[in-house]
Structure 1
Amino acid sequence: MLNDLIEKRKKVLAESEQHKNRRNELNALASKCARERNDLNAQTREYVEEAQRHKEERDRINKDVQALKDERNKYNERANALFEEIEAFKREHGNLQNRGIKELQKQIEHLEFKQQTEVYSTDKERELIEKIKHLKSLVKEQEAEFEQNKEMRAKLAEARELRRRASEIHKEVTEKAELAQQHHDLMVEAYRKADRSREEADRAHQKFVEAQEAADEEHRLFIACQKELRDYDKVISGLRKKTRKTKVTREQKAVRKEAERVFQQFRDGEKITTDDLLLLQRAKLI
């Protein structure tokens, strides 16, 4: 029975070592996954901060764009008023054959706005630019008719100057709008990167949880094995003590029997040796 218990204890000890080693491996894996998750979360925060910077810059530039548009529109409104006076003068003198300058300017503004805000293929954009150039040439042709009138010439010069300023501002509007769009695109890309790294962090966290739970289970099994080993040790120790006690009892009985035989010889008057005397003392017969 004792040998069987010892063999079973060896098996439990081996199982305990397996659970301990597996637990340590899983804890190491959980730590690795936790580091990856933390790195990815930090990366996500960096991407979000980057996106926020681009968003703030985009919004700041868009405010500048709106202010420039307001300024450009004021110049265009003043220019339109002058061109309206010029058109009235032209109608009054019965010389209006083609589309008025104001109407042409409105068409030009509309086309320039479309060029700024809409996306065209290379060919379509080239066609749009050519159309704008054509309309501007028509404006110049009609404006030339007023060069002979001093008052109209002054109004026309002022209107042209206002248009020039509006055109310069429109150019700046276009440049800033493109820059704002660049920051917007960079913001969107940074948010996309943040989403991807956040998803990777979530996956790493899930692996961490799974590894940690598995490690906890292995630790539970390891502790159960340790308890079972302690139980085996108690039983085996008890059996060994009992075996030793039984062996001592048998030895004591044998000594007593032999001592009684020697004592009987002593009583019968036979000679006994020193060893016999020691045996009798050991058996407490003398």
Structure 2
Amino acid sequence: MQTGLRIEFTMLNELIEKRKKVLTDSEEHKEKRNELNALASTFARERNQLNGQTREFVDEAQKNKDLRDEANKDVHRLKDERNVLNEKANALFEDIDKYKKEHGPVSKNRGIKDLHKQIDKLETDQQTRVLTKEKEREIIEKIEQLKSQIREQEDEFEQNKEIHVKLQEARDLRKTASDLHDKVTESAELAQKYHDIMVECYRKADKSREAADESHKKFVEAQEQADEEHQKFIGCQKEIRDFDKVIGGLRKKTKKTKVTKEQKAVRKEAEQVFQQFRSGEKLTTDDILLLQRAKLL
């Protein structure tokens, strides 16, 4: 019996030590889980903030896209208006050129209509092509030369009243068309400005979106690791409960074994006292209490 009891105590102590280790592991998994959950929350906040920035950049890009499209509409509208005025002016200049042919050339220069067409081409090149400063200066000088030739020819027609009226009307149309051309240039530059801002906003949105995707990836990784630690924590808790059941049962059994052993010892001593009593010896108070504990009285 003594050997069995000693074995039970040894097992009990071993189980208690194992339980302590599992409890330590459980706390470590719990702490690690909490750290990873906190880290996942940090990555989630970063991701959400970056997604918010991405939406802002996209909204700003869309805003500038709408402004660009509106400016481009203005470019097309103003071009159409300018072209109509130039066509009307060209028709008048054509009449003037016909007059010049009918009444003999007053100069060896090309007709006013052709000169204006040449100016239109040069202005279009100036507006649409990427030019060096030197090339742009050449175009400007060429335009001034052509305008000078036009003024020279116009001066030659000033003496004819009918031609003078047509010439003045053509000049006014050309002046209005030139003003519209300036507005075309302004609208085209404005459209380009909005386009550049839009492209930059989309570039920032792409960069912000990439950063948000990276934060989300880190969030998922941290969350998965936290879930793994939580499962390990749950496993430790289950193992601790199993230890508690075994340890509780073993303690109960050990206690019962110890009580039984004590009861047997009391019984044996009581039987000896009872035999002495039967032999005629007197019983002391302690003897009586001992007999009562052994349930012999």
**TM-score by shorter chain over 0.5:** yes
User: Which residue is equivalent to 1:76?
Assistant: 86
The answer to whether 1:86 aligns with 2:86 is no
Separation in 2, partners of 1:123, 1:207? 55
Residue type of the alignment partner of 1:207: K
Pick one of 43, 52, 71 that aligns with 2:62.
Answer: 52
Pick one of 237, 248, 272 that aligns with 1:237.
Answer: 248
Separation in 1, partners of 2:134, 2:279? 142
User: Which residue is equivalent to 1:219?
Assistant: 230
Q: CA deviation at 1:237?
A: 1.0
Separation in 2, partners of 1:58, 1:2? 82
Separation in 1, partners of 2:109, 2:141? 19
Separation in 1, partners of 2:219, 2:69? 40
Residue type of the alignment partner of 2:160: N
User: Which residue is equivalent to 2:8?
Assistant: none
Separation in 2, partners of 1:220, 1:73? 77
User: Which residue is equivalent to 1:174?
Assistant: 185
User: Which residue is equivalent to 1:118?
Assistant: 129
Give the alignment of 1:118-137 within 5 angstroms.
118-137=129-148
For residues 42-85 of structure 1, give each alpha carbon's deviation from its aligned partner in whole angstroms, at most 9, with x where no partner exists.
Answer: 11111111111111122222222222111111110001001111
Give the match's secondary structure for 1:147. Answer: coil
Can you give the 5+ residue segments of structure 2 that lack an aligned partner in the other structure?
1-10
Separation in 2, partners of 1:18, 1:282? 51
User: Which residue is equivalent to 2:283?
Assistant: 272
For residues 96-153 of structure 1, give each alpha carbon's deviation from its aligned partner in whole angstroms, at most 9, with x where no partner exists.
Answer: 6222221111111111112222222322222222222222122222222222322222
Separation in 2, partners of 1:47, 1:224? 47
User: Which residue is equivalent to 1:192?
Assistant: 203
Give the match's secondary structure for 2:273. Answer: helix
Q: CA deviation at 1:36?
A: 1.0
Give the match's secondary structure for 1:285. Answer: coil
Separation in 1, partners of 2:287, 2:125? 131
Q: CA deviation at 1:261?
A: 0.6
Give the match's secondary structure for 2:110. Answer: coil
Give the match's secondary structure for 1:140. Answer: helix
TM-score of the two chains, using structure 1 as the length reference: 0.96
Q: CA deviation at 1:180?
A: 1.6
Q: CA deviation at 1:184?
A: 1.3
User: Which residue is equivalent to 1:105?
Assistant: 116
Give the alignment's Cα RMSD to 1 decimal: 1.3
Give the alignment of 1:196-207 within 5 angstroms.
196-207=207-218
Separation in 2, partners of 1:265, 1:243? 34
Separation in 2, partners of 1:129, 1:265? 145
Residue type of the alignment partner of 1:90: K
Pick one of 173, 191, 207 that aligns with 1:162.
Answer: 173
Q: CA deviation at 1:28?
A: 0.6
Q: Tell me which stretches of 4 or more aligned residues in structure 1 moved more than 4 Å.
A: none
User: Which residue is equivalent to 2:4?
Assistant: none
The answer to whether 1:19 aligns with 2:29 is yes
Residue type of the alignment partner of 1:219: H
Residue type of the alignment partner of 2:22: V
Can you give the 5+ residue segments of structure 1 that lack an aligned partner in the other structure?
none
What is the percent sequence identity of the aligned residues? Answer: 71
Q: CA deviation at 1:194?
A: 1.2
Give the match's secondary structure for 2:158. Answer: helix
